[in-house]
Amino acid sequence: MFTDRTISLVKATVPLLQTQGEAITTHFYRLMLTNHPEVKAFFNEAHQASGTQARALAGAVLAFAAHIDRLEALSGALPRIIQKHAALGVLPEHYPIVGRCLLQAIREVLGEVATDDIIAAWGEAYQALAGMLIAAEEEVYRANEQQPGGWRGARRFRVARREAESELILSLYLEPEDGGPLLGFTPGQYLTLVLNVDGETVRRNYSLSDAPGKPWYRISVKQEQGGRVSNWLHAQAPVGTVLEVLPPCGDFVLKPAPAQAQGRPLVLVTGGVGITPAMSMLEAAAPTGRPIRFIHAARHGGVHAFRARVDALAAAHANVEALYVYDTPRDADRPHATGFVTKELLAQALPADRDVDFYFLGPKPFMQAMYANGLTLGVPAQQIHYEFFGPLEELRAA
Ligand SMILES: Cc1cc2nc3c(=O)[nH]c(=O)nc-3n(C[C@H](O)[C@H](O)[C@H](O)COP(=O)(O)OP(=O)(O)OC[C@H]3O[C@@H](n4cnc5c(N)ncnc54)[C@H](O)[C@@H]3O)c2cc1C
Ligand code: HEM
C-alpha cells in the first residue's frame, strides 16, 4: 500500500508524536474550527475543553503511524471511529479539510523537524486512512438507508411524549413526522440529534433507552449543569417539537450469548445516566430467560432513574436480579447497599466461575474502577464491554 520510504518516514515521527501528539491535535482543532466553520457543528466544545477529543485523535494518529506497515493491527480500533463518524454524519468532503489542517499542525508544531519529505509521507498516509474510513462509513450509510424503515442523513421526528425518570433524567419519545416505519437497532446503540440552539447548529448523541421494535425511539436525557443541549431539551422541547435525527449507530451493543454458552449470565453495571443503554439491553434480554444481574449506582433515590421499571422487570422475570447502590442515600431511601460498587460487592454478585458478559457505563472514575474490577475478578477480557458518553478514553490507567 505504501512505499518503504513513506513507511520509514512516518514511523520515524512516532517518538515525536508520542511527546507532541496532543500539542499537534490541540493546534489542529484550533486551526480547523477557526478557519472552517462548516465542520464546527460536528465537534463538541466541552470535549475540546476537557482535552478528551484531542487525546482520542492523537491516540488514533499515533496508533496509525506506529502500525503503518501492518494496518491489520488497527482493525479493532476502526469500528468505533467509523460508527462515531457515521452517527454524526461525517462526509467524504470533510476529509480534505481535516487532512490539510492536520498537516499544517504537524508542520507548525514540529517546526524544522517536519521536512517536506515527512509532510509528503504523512499526506500519503492520511489519504490512505481517510479512504478506508470514507469507504467504511459509506457502507454504514448505505446499510441504514436500505433496511426497512431506514434513512440517510437527517429525518424529522416529533416529540410525542415526555416522562420524568428521576429528578434529573427526562425521557423523550420520538416518532417520525412522516409516519413511516422505524429502522431497527441493537440495544446499546444511540441516535444523533442535530439541533439549532441559540442560532448555532449542534450535534449530540443519545442512547436508545427502550427495547427495539416499538413505534417510537426513546432517549433519556440527564440535565447537565451548564449543558447547552440537555438543558434545551429539558426546557424548550415540549410535546410537538420537531427534531432532526440521524439513524441509530454504535458498536457497543448487546451480543447474544454464544450457542455453546446460552445460559451465560449478563451483568449490566451502570452509574448515573450510564443506565440508558443498559435499560434497552435489559428490556430486550429479560424475556429471553438469560440470567441478568442489573447493578446500578446512583447518588440517592432522587436521581435514581427507571427504578420502578427495573423492579417491575425483576418481579416479572425470575432471571432478573437488581441491585441498587447509593453513595449518599437520603433518609427514606432503601438501596441494597451503600457506598460504591466495590470489587467485593461485585465478587458476591458474580458467579464463582466469572463466566459472564460484563457491560458497564458511567462516569470515568466509575468506569476505571469497573474495568479494573472486571479484570481482577477474572472476567475474560473479551467478555468485557463498555461505552463512553464522549470520546474514547484510557481505562487502563487505573
Ligand atoms: C454514545 C453516546 C451516548 C450518549 N447517551 C446519552 C444518554 O443516553 N443520556 C444523556 O443524558 N447523555 C448521553 N450522552 C451525552 C450527550 O451526548 C451530551 O454530551 C450531554 O447531554 C451533554 O450535552 P450538553 O450539550 O447538555 O452539554 P455541553 O454543552 O456539551 O456541556 C457538557 C459539560 O461541559 C461543560 N462545558 C461546556 N462547554 C465548556 C467549555 N467551553 N469549557 C468548559 N466546560 C464546558 C458544561 O458546563 C457541562 O458541564 C451520550 C454521549 C455519547 C457519546
Ligand atoms: C483520517 C481521518 C480521521 C481520523 C483518524 C479520525 C479519528 C477520530 C477518532 C479517534 C475519534 C474519537 C472516537 C471515539 O470517541 O472513540 C474521532 C471522533 C470524531 N471525529 Fe474523526 N477522524 C478523522 C476524520 C474526521 C473528519 C473528516 C471529521 C469531519 C467533521 C471528523 C469528525 C469527528 C467528530 C465530530 C468526532 C467526535 C468528537 C467528539 O466526540 O467530541 N473526523 N475521530
Active site residue 95: yes
Residues 136, 31 within the same domain = yes
- Which regions in the chain score pLDDT beneath 70? 397-398
Which of 146, 179, 197 delimits the end of a domain? 146
Provide DSSP, 289-315.
Answer: T--EEEEEEESSGGG-TTHHHHHHHHH
Residues 11, 137 within the same domain = yes
- Residue 50: predicted pLDDT: 87
- Residue 71: predicted pLDDT: 80
Residues 214, 135 within the same domain = no
Q: 311 in a domain, yes or no?
A: yes
Measured between alpha carbons, how far apart are the two ends of the chain, in Å?
38
d(Cα 100, Cα 84) in Å, to the nearest integer? Answer: 21
Q: E strand or H helix at 276, and its extent?
A: helix 275-285
- Residue 398: predicted pLDDT: 39
- Residue 37: predicted pLDDT: 87
Proximal ligand: closest to the CA of 305: 1
The set of protein residues with a Cβ atom below 6 angstroms from ligand 1 is 44-46, 49, 190, 204-207, 219-222, 224-231, 250, 273, 276, 387, 389-390
d(Cα 300, Cα 321) in Å, to the nearest integer? Answer: 20
| Pick from 196, 184, 191: nearest CA to 242 | 196
Provide DSSP, 86-121.
Answer: HHHT--GGGHHHHHHHHHHHHHHHHGGGS-HHHHHH
9 residue type, one letter: L
- The CATH number that applies at residue 12 is 1.10.490.10
Backbone angles phi, psi at 218, to 5 degrees: -115, 130
Q: 108 in a domain, yes or no?
A: yes
Which of 249, 267, 299 delimits the end of a domain? 249
Residues 136, 115 within the same domain = yes
Distances (CA, A) of 5 to 89, 129, 162, 312: 35, 17, 59, 63
- DSSP code, position 261: G
Q: 141 in a domain, yes or no?
A: yes
d(Cα 173, Cα 123) in Å, to the nearest integer? Answer: 45
Residues 8, 137 within the same domain = yes
Distances (CA, A) of 63 to 66, 106, 248, 306: 5, 16, 28, 40
Ligand 2: residue whose CA is nearest its atom 40: 391
Q: 26 in a domain, yes or no?
A: yes
Proximal ligand: closest to the CA of 38: 2
Virtual torsion, Cα 304, 394, 343, 353, nearest 10 deg: 110
d(Cα 343, Cα 370) in Å, to the nearest integer? Answer: 8
Residues 34, 131 within the same domain = yes
Look at the alpha carbons of 124, 125, 129, 130 in this order and tell me if their dihedral is positive or negative. Answer: negative
- The CATH number that applies at residue 214 is 2.40.30.10
Q: Cell digits for 112?
A: 524544522
Residues 236, 211 within the same domain = yes
Calculate the average pLDDT of the chain. Answer: 94
Distances (CA, A) of 322 to 294, 296, 297, 308, 309: 5, 8, 11, 11, 11
209 residue type, one letter: S
Residues 316, 245 within the same domain = no
- The CATH number that applies at residue 333 is 3.40.50.80
d(Cα 221, Cα 352) in Å, to the nearest integer? Answer: 36
Residues 96, 129 within the same domain = yes
Q: 394 in a domain, yes or no?
A: no
Residues 275, 244 within the same domain = no
Where do we find the cell 520510504?
Answer: 5
CA of 88 to the centre of ligand 2 (A): 9
Q: 398 in a domain, yes or no?
A: no
- Residue 4: predicted pLDDT: 92
- DSSP code, position 356: -
Instruction: Confirm or reject: Cβ of 39 under 6 Å from ligand 2.
Output: yes
Other beta carbons within 10 Å of 381: 9
- Residue 261: predicted pLDDT: 87
Instruction: Confirm or reject: Cβ of 391 under 6 Å from ligand 2.
Output: yes
CB 109 within 8 A of CB 157: no
Helix (H), strand (E), coil (C) string for 199-246: CEEEEEEEEECCCCCCCCEEEEEECCCCCHHHHHHHHHCCCCCEEEEE
CA of 305 to the centre of ligand 2 (A): 31
Where do we find the cell 432517549?
Answer: 219
Which of 249, 280, 299 delimits the end of a domain? 249
Residues 6+ away with beta carbon under 8 Å from 312: none
Residues 361, 263 within the same domain = yes
Residue-wise pLDDT for 319-375, tens only, equals 999 999 999 999 999 999 999 999 999 999 999 999 999 999 999 999 999 999 999
Q: Which of 22, 126, 137, 326 is catalytic?
A: 137
CA of 374 to the centre of ligand 2 (A): 29
Residues 234, 274 within the same domain = no
Number of domains in the chain: 3
Give the residue numbers spanning the domain of 19. 4-146
CB 299 within 8 A of CB 332: no
Query: pTM of the predicted model, to two decimals?
Result: 0.96
- Residue 397: predicted pLDDT: 54
Q: Which of 22, 29, 95, 387 is catalytic?
A: 95
Active site residue 326: no
CB 363 within 8 A of CB 352: no
Q: 396 in a domain, yes or no?
A: no
- DSSP code, position 177: T
Q: 254 in a domain, yes or no?
A: no
Q: Cell digits for 302?
A: 432522587
